[in-house]
């Protein structure tokens, strides 16, 4: 299926020079003629400038705008809906929720009638597309472009599940669209650690680029950084002077020490501007194991300068060479080209040698989290095995679940820098699967998590 509606990004300098700097970074939509789609593009502008959102509907002052990746997702989902309306000869301003969005648009995606491969789409993809269509039509209603659309809702209840909240035991009620598809829950499984070690060794052994690209992959494995965050890691994110390293446990053995560093470039969430082409996102603090920090420092002092010289030599004058040197702020530089790595480059690195099936940078974040969880509950695991042999009451299971939740919420979530309740339950389910026991995972909570979640963006 070839879509005729297109998401377009204009040349930023041209728009800025014409006096449209505020919207220069935002996408717009061109229709099948092709021509500028005024309604869809106006919606994206209001959404991207924080002038309208589904919660306040323009009734409050400007809200923090969505991140660039979120705007890209909104634009592509909206273009898909507008394309569908065009092909089905439906006027978007007359579309109704139950009969059209659920009865036709959603149904066709489920059956694979409306998809590139003629196969049913995932529940998450379908829900996201319908959500965006509902938002666009709600916006159109607020702008007087159509009559109000009736969207039936149902109230769902779930638990907060936060070890750091004094009200985490209280239920939360949220309204959910009727007709929203139940999303299947992810169940984690990982390659054997020995297979992962072989994969990593093959990357380190790549000619010329191996020491750099292997270190990038090792950093993701050891810190759970997203690939974009790893690409945006700056040369001074880890302070150059080792005396300035913040070590929370200086009395521990070197192999057990960690260095605290702040990350803000390329992080997921709201966008606060750009710096050297990188999104400035929410500030977060992560722990870098001391052995890895020392490797990063050695790379910065001995390997990176050689790669940087490749870039500097591309300058024709001394002034241009100084500019290249000063503008090269990223830690990791490709020794072949002298250029920084992008998140896409790192994804390609991951796949550049034979890898275990499904092994990706995103799964590496889960692998880091579950590995830490397994180490932390090692003592409790031995106690559990004794309890199962001796038929001790389930208070042991309750204590194990409580300890596991504490590890997830006090150690894992701060490092991953998200608060997804669904992910918390995925890690608990992984632990239960590995132990072969039922941890009483609050069935109702598990069932309703996806309906209550509101994570920004679709990509990690």
Give the model confidence (pLDDT) of 165-179 as tens digits.
444 455 666 778 888
11-15, 194-198, 425-429: range with lowest mean pLDDT: 11-15
Q: Name the band, by pLDDT with cuts 50, 70 and 90, for residue 384.
A: low
60-74, 106-120, 138-152, 155-169: range with lowest mean pLDDT: 155-169
Q: Name the band, by pLDDT with cuts 50, 70 and 90, for residue 447.
A: very low
Q: Could you tell me the CATH number of the domain that includes residue 314?
A: 1.10.443
Q: Does residue 406 lie within any of the structural domains?
A: yes
What is the span of the domain harbouring residue 232? 207-352
CB 206 within 8 A of CB 354: no
Q: 2, exposed or middle or buried, with CB in 10 Å at 0-12, 13-18, 19+?
A: exposed
Let me know whether 345 and 372 are in one domain.
no
Q: Does residue 196 lie within any of the structural domains?
A: no
pLDDT higher than 80, residue 444: no
Q: Does residue 401 lie within any of the structural domains?
A: yes
Q: Does residue 1 lie within any of the structural domains?
A: no
Let me know whether 223 and 331 are in one domain.
yes
Q: Name the band, by pLDDT with cuts 50, 70 and 90, for residue 197.
A: very high
Domains: count for the chain: 3
Ramachandran angles phi, psi of 132, nearest 5°: -65, -40
Q: Name the band, by pLDDT with cuts 50, 70 and 90, for residue 102.
A: very high
pLDDT higher than 60, residue 443: no
Q: Does residue 80 lie within any of the structural domains?
A: yes
Q: What pLDDT, on the 0 to 100 scale, is given for residue 163?
A: 42
Let me know whether 181 and 97 are in one domain.
no
**CA dist 449 to 5, 122, 151, 365, 456, Å?**
34, 17, 21, 20, 15
Let me know whether 123 and 16 are in one domain.
yes
Q: What pLDDT, on the 0 to 100 scale, is given for residue 456?
A: 38
Mean pLDDT of all residues in 18-47: 89
pLDDT higher than 50, residue 214: yes
Q: Name the band, by pLDDT with cuts 50, 70 and 90, for residue 159.
A: low
Q: What pLDDT, on the 0 to 100 scale, is given for residue 387?
A: 64
Q: What pLDDT, on the 0 to 100 scale, is given for residue 420?
A: 67
Let me know whether 331 and 378 are in one domain.
no
pLDDT higher than 80, residue 56: yes
Let me know whether 247 and 340 are in one domain.
yes
Let me know whether 27 and 45 are in one domain.
yes
> CA-based angle 71:273:233, to the nearest 5?
100
Q: How far apart are CA 90 and CA 105, in angstroms?
A: 11
Q: Which H or E element spans position 445?
A: helix 443-452
């Amino acid at each position: 299926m070839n879509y005729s509606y297109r998401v377009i990004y204009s040349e930023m300098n041209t728009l800025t020079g014409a006096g449209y700097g505020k919207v220069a970074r935002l996408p717009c939509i061109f229709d099948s003629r092709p021509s500028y789609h005024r309604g869809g593009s106006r919606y994206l502008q209001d959404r991207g400038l924080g002038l309208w959102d589904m919660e306040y509907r323009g009734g409050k002052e400007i809200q923090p705008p969505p991140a660039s990746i979120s705007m890209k997702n909104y634009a592509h989902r909206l273009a898909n809906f507008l394309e569908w309306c065009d092909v089905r000869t439906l006027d978007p301003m007359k579309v109704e929720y139950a009969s059209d969005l659920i009865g036709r648009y959603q149904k066709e995606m489920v059956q694979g009638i409306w998809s590139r491969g003629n196969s049913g789409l995932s529940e998450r993809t379908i829900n996201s597309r319908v959500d965006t269509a509902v938002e666009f039509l709600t916006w159109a209603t607020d702008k007087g472009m159509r009559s109000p659309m009736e969207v039936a809702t149902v109230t769902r209840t779930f638990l907060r599940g936060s070890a750091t909240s004094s009200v985490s035991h209280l239920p939360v009620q949220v309204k959910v669209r009727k007709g929203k598809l139940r999303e299947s829950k992810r169940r984690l499984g990982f390659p054997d650690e020995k297979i992962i070690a072989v994969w990593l060794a093959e990357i380190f052994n790549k000619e010329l680029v191996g020491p750099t690209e292997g270190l990038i992959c090792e950093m993701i494995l050891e810190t759970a950084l997203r690939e974009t965050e790893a690409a945006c890691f700056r040369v001074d994110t880890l302070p150059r002077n080792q005396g300035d390293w913040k070590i929370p446990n200086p009395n521990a053995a070197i192999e057990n020490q960690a260095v605290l560093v702040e990350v803000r470039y390329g992080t997921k969430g709201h966008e606060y501007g750009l710096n050297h082409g990188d999104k400035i996102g929410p500030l977060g603090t992560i722990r870098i194991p001391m052995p890895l920090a020392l490797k990063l420092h050695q790379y910065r002092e001995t390997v990176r300068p050689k790669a940087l010289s490749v870039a500097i030599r591309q300058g024709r004058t001394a002034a241009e060479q100084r500019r290249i040197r000063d503008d090269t702020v990223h830690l990791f530089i490709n020794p072949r080209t002298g250029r920084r790595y992008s998140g896409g480059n790192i994804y390609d690195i991951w796949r550049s040698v034979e890898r275990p099936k499904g092994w990706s940078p995103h799964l590496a974040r889960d692998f880091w989290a579950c590995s830490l969880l397994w180490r932390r509950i090692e003592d409790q695991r031995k106690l559990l095995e004794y309890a199962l042999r001796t038929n001790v009451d389930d208070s042991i299971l309750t204590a194990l679940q409580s300890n596991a939740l504490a590890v997830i919420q006090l150690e894992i979530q701060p490092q991953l820098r998200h608060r997804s309740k669904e992910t918390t339950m995925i890690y608990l389910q992984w632990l239960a699967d590995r132990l072969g026991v039922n941890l009483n995972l609050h069935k109702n909570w598990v069932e309703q998590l996806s309906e209550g979640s509101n994570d920004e963006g679709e990509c990690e």
